[in-house]
Amino acid sequence: MSKRVLTTESGAPVADNQNSATAGVGGPILLQDQHLLEKLARFNRERIPERVVHARGSGAYGYFEVTDDVTGYTKADFLGEVGKKTETFIRFSTVADSLGGADAVRDPRGFALKFYTEEGNYDLVGNNTPVFFIKDPIKFPDFIHSQKRDPFTGKQEADNVWDFWAHAPEATHQITWLMGDRGIPASYRHMNGYGSHTYQWTNEAGEAFFVKYHFKTNQGIRSLSGEQAAELVGKDANSHQTDLLQAIERGVNPSWTLYVQVMPAAEAAEYRFNPFDLTKVWPHSDYPLQRVGRLVLDRNPENVFAEVEQAAFSPNNFVPGIGPSPDKMLQGRLFAYADAHRYRLGVNHTLLPVNAPKATTAENYGRDGFMATRNGSRHDKNYEPNSYQGPAQTDAALSAPLAIHGWTGTHEAPAHTKDDDFFQAGELYRLMSAEEKNRLIANIAGGLSQVSREDVIEKNLAHFAAADAEYGKRVAEAVRALRED
């Protein structure tokens, strides 16, 4: 077998990769040492900007298999036949910390899934919680700033975290989730995933339905206490990455069963909760779970940077039969996610192997830009319409149109009969066992007691009391006890 030859970026053979070229023995390095300069310059540019949120993540390939007929609700081809399989790529992540953070921390987990369908890539961007902290994207940058490292101290500050939450009463529901037993998953395999947002499905007849996605783990829910998580972080900061990688390498392929809640579009206006409010759930008693299929992960990426860090998900990547809803947070993310990838990876990030369609071919008139690799030939025009048999529109909408009315302006979301910021948080608290409530109270008090301003503490205590009188009373007592120690 012939020996492989080390080359420069231009393909020229490298004579010596151990010693730099110098002016004589022991002399200064020569500027003409092209291999040295190229090697150092490339090394300086190995890193790209990390994601502002969801920076730390792990990924895997797999497939989605349809197990139940949902063609009455959507014309999406990849969901159109029981038994049909579609290749997928998933990225799990923490939200608030940087790329160098630990896995086993109290934080929501990203659950971003790419379906490589025959009608183009469909991206479903969600979390391991069915709700979120805020309901309007205009508050998102401020929310993330409050959770990230403080500009002065360089670390996450309880004052910032709880001060924002004090002024965002709609966060009470998600806080109750986050501080509860599921706030620190034992691994990515042992948590559920949710689309969180409300999406629209449209069937062949043009009928519209609003849906919520629920991926239920088939490994069972397993979570860590704060003490267990701290111990695990000390042993292996990469615990979730290690677990996912090793499980798939052993052939223990994790899986989830996908269910959806389906709401006929006509029922949305009169539903007791605003169905497009990301801080709310649809109770299963109103809209039961309906099984769709199963997601199986069976292959690890060969290169984490190329396939996990450069993976780009955007909720505006829809396919026929699936579209957006008036969910304001979703509407904001339709722009923000794709724009973040254009900044991090460049306008041609969709040409990278992990992001490019696999079951079809992208046909459009996008050209040029950094790292352009698909610019066409002399026969391909870069405008449309044209007379040269270039790709043309289908005239078939991906989803049903949404009716709108009223005046433009900065409106609050319309109120439904049961809409407030606390009712569902209280419902969640009352569903918990005595032991779960004890741990929830301890987790909240542990953070809230570190806040330096009494008025911020009192505002947060009022939110918990509004959700449930006992809830608020117990948190207040626990905070007081910790501050008196």
**Catalytic annotation, residues:** 54, 127
Cβ neighbours of 385 (radius 10 Å): 9
- Tell me the three state secondary structure of residue 126: strand
Which residue(s) pair with 323 in the sheet?
A: 200
- Determine if the peptide bond prior to 385 is cis (ω within 30°): yes
Nearest to 144 by CA among 186, 94, 187, 181: 94
Q: Which residues contact 93 (CB under 8 A, 6 or more apart)?
A: 51, 54, 55, 56, 57, 58, 109, 110, 112
Q: 99: which residues sit within 8 A by CB, 6+ positions away?
A: 50, 51, 55, 56
Task: Tell me which H or E stretch contains 264.
Answer: strand 255-264
> Look-up: residue for tokens 């209280």?
426
Identity of the amino acid at 135 = K
Q: How many CB atoms lie within 10 A of CB 70?
A: 24
Q: Is residue 146 within 8 Å of residue 133, measured between CB atoms?
A: no
